[in-house]
Structure 1
């Protein structure tokens, strides 16, 4: 099943550009979020289902390192990979790679935790064992493009 994961592709939109006619830096964080939600869906940890079961996953930290520019109309892969997971916290690393050239454009990381409706940390191993198993299964998954 690991080979069934599809990379997330984003086409840079005109409204995402800045005065220099490149993608504004804040949009990469949005792309990370889009790719994270897509990744969660693909591995069996659908975010809407988690919320329906009383579990939320706020962002604790997020960062991006810009290597080269993305411009309007460029297509990029946004590839999330599990960097660490302990049942309560999930850290993802991201690579943004130009579809046409294969050039690395941006890297980043985000860290999330899992909370119940009262805002208390929960262990997915205890409250959502199937989601926990999915994260364990895909812990070492690296996208091939």
Structure 2
């Protein structure tokens, strides 16, 4: 299994605020874009997860802004699995300015897996072993990369 290199993003002008910097709310959207892109990279798209009857609600999200991002900058958003259990998935994010190499934002998000039909918690290990094995293998790869 190959490690995901990250999601490259050029901010749009409409994402700026009156000070000419990217408005803080957009980083949360960028985290989601990177998660969706990671799933595509792993060849288990969000569409496939939803077709399997699973929804993945966000339980919490945070962002820490270290440097400004402006229109015209290009950033690399790297999502890392911080923790995976059969029912929950926690990500860490690092956003780096491509030109300077500086970390501009870090963040986290927490998710659970639920049945789209019953709205009850899903244990991937029992109910979707293929997806469980994928997250477990990628989590191990992420932990190896971080150490």
Do Structure 1 and Structure 2 share a fold, with TM-score over 0.5?
A: yes
Task: Give the 3-state SS of the residue equivalent to 2:35 in structure 1.
Answer: helix
Are 1:141 and 2:142 matched, yes or no? yes
Other-structure match for 1:107: 106
Other-structure match for 1:129: 129
Q: Which stretch of the first structure deviates more once superposed, 124-133 or 11-20?
A: 124-133
Q: Distance in 1 between matches of 2:131 and 2:79?
A: 17
Size of the aligned set, in residue pairs, is 143
Task: Give the 3-state SS of the residue equivalent to 2:17 in structure 1.
Answer: coil
Are 1:98 and 2:71 matched, yes or no? no
Q: TM-score, normalised by structure 1?
A: 0.93
| Two-structure CA RMSD over aligned residues (Å) | 1.5
8 A contact 2:5–2:78 mirrored in 1: no
Q: Distance in 1 between matches of 2:86 and 2:42?
A: 15
Shift of 1:128: 1.5
Structure 2 regions of 5+ residues with no counterpart? none
Q: TM-score, normalised by structure 2?
A: 0.92
